[in-house]
A and B are shown apart, each in its own frame.
Chain A
């Protein structure tokens, strides 16, 4: 088989360059995170991780993530079902709209929520009168996290469901299945891996969101600090090892995400073969 770029010298040169550059720009930072976190031994790392404020930050981060995922899941599935199974005016527009969170700077995302729900905003002002505070508290963090993460599940599902088409569901309708049954027994088994990957991506982003959250959180230690905000504070306080201990936890989640993706892709490739 003859293909362009098959000459051994070209091949070796390009692979070498790709591996060297990737090692320098991607692998080295990853190694550095763990090297810094364990720079003063496992004991210090552990002390940093089990610190009261760190635990509180971990707790808040998990809390926000656990609440974000189901919301994104419901929205993602509903939107994917809508745009891949029906044809209606405005379908393309809807598909473009869900890309907005990808294009909007996280700081701007935080800002627009702050303006709306903050004390001076038109909803926030009314809420303030009812003595309800959303901004600089966990509900605000949850809201911006949902904003930032909402496209992931839908973006994973739409291409897959488009490619699969609606023949199987239509067959189920002719056999007299109800909507719920069709979704549970026909659609879900076909999309469950994409759904899982969407959830993993949502999880990674929800855990790690920084820009938007830092605008609306107020960063009160032990109360409204998520893990990324916490590590920023430690870093600004010149507690590098402490900051990297938190960073290492977040990096572990990132590694898990990569492994899950590789695993799911491997699985898909094997099923195709």
Chain B
């Protein structure tokens, strides 16, 4: 079931105070897994809670929320038939795992409530799905964080919702568990085919898990795109900076080259002051400068991290140090050491106009 938001806005407190959410339009296709990504205070959680019905959107402008063709704008959370997974699980501590998962089924009005046999069968099926059958009679306090979050998921899925909403579902878990649960959720989503929206502040999580990512800041949607497109073609500087580490090169363009102190880079840009942004993996390091680029730098730190090596670089002409990620091949070839003098060779760079959204995106040979 698709979700369609139109002109959804939210103001906390008195009207007139700054909006937590500017009027937003968003369409999510049936069966899609969408991540809402942004720093804290960007309005992503507010948006999710409005979709759930836990928060009321502003009356002015009069926005609407549709689940498929059903207008749920005025529908109470308990009648929206969504599944919601909370950041801190929100399990009922006084109930066993079984009772937690069964809760949604047992509180249905008498006419619609399944028989207790059916409930038992359904709960066991769900617990099997989240691989927790053995823990049915345990209390939440006796489970690990990852297990609790799986119970919380099973509980949310008990009513077979067509929309599953997750608020920072893995935020409180450690890195390894988070990885496993992420893959597992993706799997579950593909298998059961519901529409999912989840909130995260972790770009890696958003990129890995989502069909499409909605990047938000300051109550606004900055960009909606598939992860690959988002990374390759960020709509603006905020998205670019939020999605990864950034190296900054500021200088003056004259005669087809940008200069900054002793640094020089051939560019095809109008004359005047310019700022270029570079990803760490879009740099290579060499022992000598090339014709196009003369960017002398000193290595200040070398950190091998898994498949790549992170090299921190400093120079007099740089306000902030740069970061380059190079392969182990280059690392060994250049014999990179602290204090060594190397030349950075950008393969690509990005430039965003100071005002407004459009970005130019040339590349270097």
Interface membership of A28, Cβ < 8 A: no
A174 and B54 CA atoms in complex are apart in Å by 50
Nearest chain B CB to A103 CB, angstrom units: 28
Nearest chain B CB to A4 CB, angstrom units: 10
Q: Could you say which residues of chain A place their CB within 8 Å of the CB of B76?
A: 2
Q: Could you say which residues of chain B place their CB within 8 Å of the CB of A2?
A: 53-55, 76-77
Interface membership of A1, Cβ < 8 A: yes
- Beta-carbon contacts under 8 Å, A53-83 to B: none
Q: Could you say which residues of chain B place their CB within 8 Å of the CB of A1?
A: 54-55
Nearest chain B CB to A11 CB, angstrom units: 16
Show 7 A/B contacts (Cβ-Cβ < 8 Å), sorted by A: A1-B54, A1-B55, A2-B53, A2-B54, A2-B55, A2-B76, A2-B77
A2 and B76 CA atoms in complex are apart in Å by 9
Indicate the size class of the contact surface on chain A: under 10
A1 and B76 CA atoms in complex are apart in Å by 11
- Beta-carbon contacts under 8 Å, B123-144 to A: none
A1 and B77 CA atoms in complex are apart in Å by 10
Nearest chain B CB to A80 CB, angstrom units: 29
Q: Could you say which residues of chain A place their CB within 8 Å of the CB of B53?
A: 2
Nearest chain B CB to A273 CB, angstrom units: 16
Q: Name A1's closest neighbour in chain B (CB-CB).
A: B55
Q: Could you say which residues of chain A place their CB within 8 Å of the CB of B54?
A: 1-2
Nearest chain B CB to A8 CB, angstrom units: 14
Nearest chain B CB to A73 CB, angstrom units: 39
A222 and B225 CA atoms in complex are apart in Å by 89
A1 and B54 CA atoms in complex are apart in Å by 5
- Beta-carbon contacts under 8 Å, B45-100 to A: 53-55, 76-77
Total contacts A to B, CB within 8 angstroms?
7
- Beta-carbon contacts under 8 Å, B161-184 to A: none
A1 and B57 CA atoms in complex are apart in Å by 10
A94 and B53 CA atoms in complex are apart in Å by 51
Encode A1-15 as 1/0 by CB contact (under 8 A) with B.
110000000000000
Nearest chain A CB to B49 CB, angstrom units: 8
Q: Name A7's closest neighbour in chain B (CB-CB).
A: B76
A2 and B53 CA atoms in complex are apart in Å by 8
Q: Could you say which residues of chain A place their CB within 8 Å of the CB of B77?
A: 2
Q: Name B78's closest neighbour in chain A (CB-CB).
A: A2
Q: Name B76's closest neighbour in chain A (CB-CB).
A: A2
A46 and B364 CA atoms in complex are apart in Å by 98
Q: Could you say which residues of chain A place their CB within 8 Å of the CB of B55?
A: 1-2
- Beta-carbon contacts under 8 Å, B197-252 to A: none
Nearest chain B CB to A87 CB, angstrom units: 24
A215 and B32 CA atoms in complex are apart in Å by 79
Nearest chain A CB to B79 CB, angstrom units: 12
- Kindly list the 7 A-B residue pairs having the minimum CB-CB distance in the complex, ordered from nearest: A2-B54, A2-B77, A1-B55, A1-B54, A2-B53, A2-B55, A2-B76
A114 and B54 CA atoms in complex are apart in Å by 63
Nearest chain B CB to A116 CB, angstrom units: 47
Q: Name B54's closest neighbour in chain A (CB-CB).
A: A2
Nearest chain B CB to A51 CB, angstrom units: 57
A2 and B50 CA atoms in complex are apart in Å by 11
A33 and B54 CA atoms in complex are apart in Å by 48
A212 and B76 CA atoms in complex are apart in Å by 57
A1 and B55 CA atoms in complex are apart in Å by 5
Nearest chain B CB to A228 CB, angstrom units: 44
Nearest chain B CB to A249 CB, angstrom units: 46
A2 and B79 CA atoms in complex are apart in Å by 13
A1 and B53 CA atoms in complex are apart in Å by 9
A8 and B271 CA atoms in complex are apart in Å by 65
- Beta-carbon contacts under 8 Å, A1-58 to B: 1-2
A2 and B84 CA atoms in complex are apart in Å by 14
Nearest chain B CB to A190 CB, angstrom units: 30
Q: Name B55's closest neighbour in chain A (CB-CB).
A: A1
A171 and B77 CA atoms in complex are apart in Å by 50
Nearest chain B CB to A165 CB, angstrom units: 23
Nearest chain A CB to B10 CB, angstrom units: 11
Nearest chain B CB to A125 CB, angstrom units: 56
Nearest chain B CB to A110 CB, angstrom units: 43
- Beta-carbon contacts under 8 Å, B14-69 to A: 53-55
A71 and B189 CA atoms in complex are apart in Å by 67
Nearest chain A CB to B46 CB, angstrom units: 11
Nearest chain B CB to A7 CB, angstrom units: 10
Nearest chain B CB to A14 CB, angstrom units: 19
Q: Name B77's closest neighbour in chain A (CB-CB).
A: A2
Nearest chain A CB to B57 CB, angstrom units: 13
A1 and B56 CA atoms in complex are apart in Å by 7
Nearest chain A CB to B32 CB, angstrom units: 26
Nearest chain B CB to A236 CB, angstrom units: 52
Q: Name B12's closest neighbour in chain A (CB-CB).
A: A1
Nearest chain A CB to B114 CB, angstrom units: 24
Nearest chain B CB to A5 CB, angstrom units: 13
Q: Name B49's closest neighbour in chain A (CB-CB).
A: A1
A2 and B55 CA atoms in complex are apart in Å by 7
Nearest chain B CB to A6 CB, angstrom units: 10
A240 and B1 CA atoms in complex are apart in Å by 76
A1 and B20 CA atoms in complex are apart in Å by 14
A1 and B12 CA atoms in complex are apart in Å by 10
A9 and B75 CA atoms in complex are apart in Å by 18
Q: Name B53's closest neighbour in chain A (CB-CB).
A: A2
